[in-house]
Amino acid sequence: MLFVLLLSLPFLFFLLRALNRYRLRQQALRNKAIILETLQTAQLQNQNFEIQLGEQNNRVSYSSILDHISDDTLEFNVLHHVSSVWVDNKADIFFSYLEKGIRHFHKFHVPIVSINARQKSSTVYTSLPQSLEIGQKRAFFRIAPLPNTVRVLAIWLLAPSEPLPRSTDEVGPPFLSCKIRRDGSPAQDIFSLHVEDISGSGIGLRLQTTAEDERIVKDGQILCLLVYNESMHGEEHLVNFCCTGRISNIRQAQDNDATKILGIEFTNWALLEKGNKNINWFHQAKATGIGPILQWVTKMDIEQRKIP
């Protein structure tokens, strides 16, 4: 009896190992099915996927749509140029979807497999995530302004102890500015300054390198005037948006060595009324964002999703 038991032990050991492998394989298949179902739900709802690349202090974000899901790859459509230098880098991707009126937020971490980069749009391919993290909500997504929506952009550098101007009469010549015609061409010979991207809590500004670069430093304060068209259709409706902000990061543009991109975190804001020189400031609550900018960004995001 003991001899028979000893002979059967190896068989029992291999049987248990086979059963454990089968159980793990079935669990992996169920997990993959849940991930695919969640991604397909967000895709069918045309939800925004925010792709974040780079280190914590040098982040770049892209708003995208999930175009295609295969067995091991995701294909994202980004209405922005994405440099191929990000291939093989890891990306944090945030998205959400609606289920029975409740919004669920997710995040996953995957490598960039390849990038088909074009001048004004790109296709980004990533690996299929092996897991989804729950509750990683992104309060605000960033978006590049639609063509012909920004009319005037100007910035002033503020000293740390400098009080906020209470009137437009207290504001001198800007450090940099750019006025843009309705056809999208600059009033100057070149674009010296323009909006890289914008969200409810901050703005990315692309500017050309100047001899006064040493005045632009991390944690420095700026004053910004942004005149934009909030009407997506019909008659133009310009908004004169004024804000102050903290420079949270500075990075070199990947497509131009003579260009820098400033990441600005809004601190105060005001809407300027035509014919009124007074500036009535509101403090920016980071958790809630700036209402007029949130509305504008949301409108542009909806318009971008309509583009085939």
Q: What digits encode the pLDDT tens for the residues 151-185?
A: 899 999 998 888 899 999 999 899 888 887 665 55
Rounded mean pLDDT of 253-264?
78
Burial class (CB in 10 A: 0-12, 13-18, 19+), 64: buried
How high does pLDDT run on average in the chain? 81
Q: In this structure, are residues 293 and 282 in contact, taking their beta carbons and an 8 Å threshold? A: no
Listed range (70-74, 79-83, 256-260) with the worst mean pLDDT: 256-260
Contacts of residue 284, Cβ cutoff 8 Å, sequence gap at least 6:
201, 243, 266, 267, 268, 269, 290
The angle at the Cα of 168, spanning 228 to 265, to the nearest 5 degrees, equals 55
The C-alpha atoms of residue 288 and residue 114 are separated, in whole angstroms, by 35
The C-alpha atoms of residue 53 and residue 83 are separated, in whole angstroms, by 11
pLDDT range class, residue 186, cuts 50, 70, 90: low
In the chain, at which residue ranges do the beta strands (DSSP E only) sit? 48-53, 60-69, 73-78, 90-99, 102-117, 122-127, 133-134, 150-158, 176-179, 193-198, 202-208, 221-229, 238-252, 259-271, 282-283
Structural domains of the chain sorted by starting position, each given as residue range(s) with its CATH number in brackets: 40-134 (2.30.110.10), 150-306 (2.30.110)
Tokens representing residue 66 in the block: 């999930």
Higher-confidence residue of 65 and 55: namely 65
With the CA atoms of 165, 169, 175 and 178 taken in that order, what torsion angle do they form, in degrees rounded to the nearest 10?
A: 110
Tokens representing residue 241 in the block: 């948006």
Instruction: List alpha helices for the chain, DSSP H.
Output: 2-44, 291-306
Rounded mean pLDDT of 259-283?
90
Tokens representing residue 94 in the block: 């945030």
Q: Residue 266: its pLDDT value, please?
A: 92
Q: Residue 278: its pLDDT value, please?
A: 93
Instruction: List alpha helices for 87-138, DSSP H.
Output: none
pLDDT range class, residue 208, cuts 50, 70, 90: confident
pLDDT range class, residue 190, cuts 50, 70, 90: very low
| Residue 260 three-state SS | strand
